[in-house]
Amino acid sequence: MNVHVYDTYEEMSKNAAEEIISLLNSKPNSVLCIPGGDTPKEMLSYLVQAYKLGRVDFSQATFIGLDDWVGVGPEDIGSCQLFLNSNFFHQVNAKKENIHLFDTMSEDLENECKKKDELVEKYGGFDLMILGIGMNGHLGFNEPGVDFGLKSHVIDLDETTQSVGQKYFEEKKELKQGITLGVKHLLNSRTIFLLANGEKKAEIVKATIEGPVTNTNPASVLQQHENIHYYLDQKAASLLG
Q: Check if 210 is active-site.
A: no
Q: Check if 90 is active-site.
A: no
- Judged by CB, which is closer to ligand PGA: 65, or 132? 132
* Segment interacting with ligand PGA (CB under 6 A) among 36-44, 73-81, 83-91, 121-129: 36-44
Should residue 132 be labelled a site residue for ligand PGA when binding is judged by CB under 6 A?
A: yes
Give the C-alpha separation, 236 to 86, whole Å: 27
Q: Contacts with ligand PGA: how many residues (CB under 6 A)?
A: 7
User: With b meaning 16 or more CB within 10 Å and e meaning fewer, what string describes 227-239?
Assistant: ebbbbbbbbbbbb
Shortest spacing between CB 18 and ligand PGA, in angstroms: 20
The residues facing 155 across adjacent strands are 178
User: Which residues have CB under 8 Å from 146's CB, separation 6+?
Assistant: 155, 182, 183, 215, 218
Should residue 37 be labelled a site residue for ligand PGA when binding is judged by CB under 6 A?
A: yes
- Phi first, then psi: give them for residue 180, nearest 5 degrees: -155, 150
When binding is defined by CB under 6 A, the residue of 16, 20, 30, 39 that contacts ligand PGA is: 39
Should residue 134 be labelled a site residue for ligand PGA when binding is judged by CB under 6 A?
A: yes
Give the C-alpha separation, 85 to 208, whole Å: 30
Q: Check if 67 is active-site.
A: yes
List residues near ligand PGA by CB under 6 A. Answer: 37-39, 132-134, 138
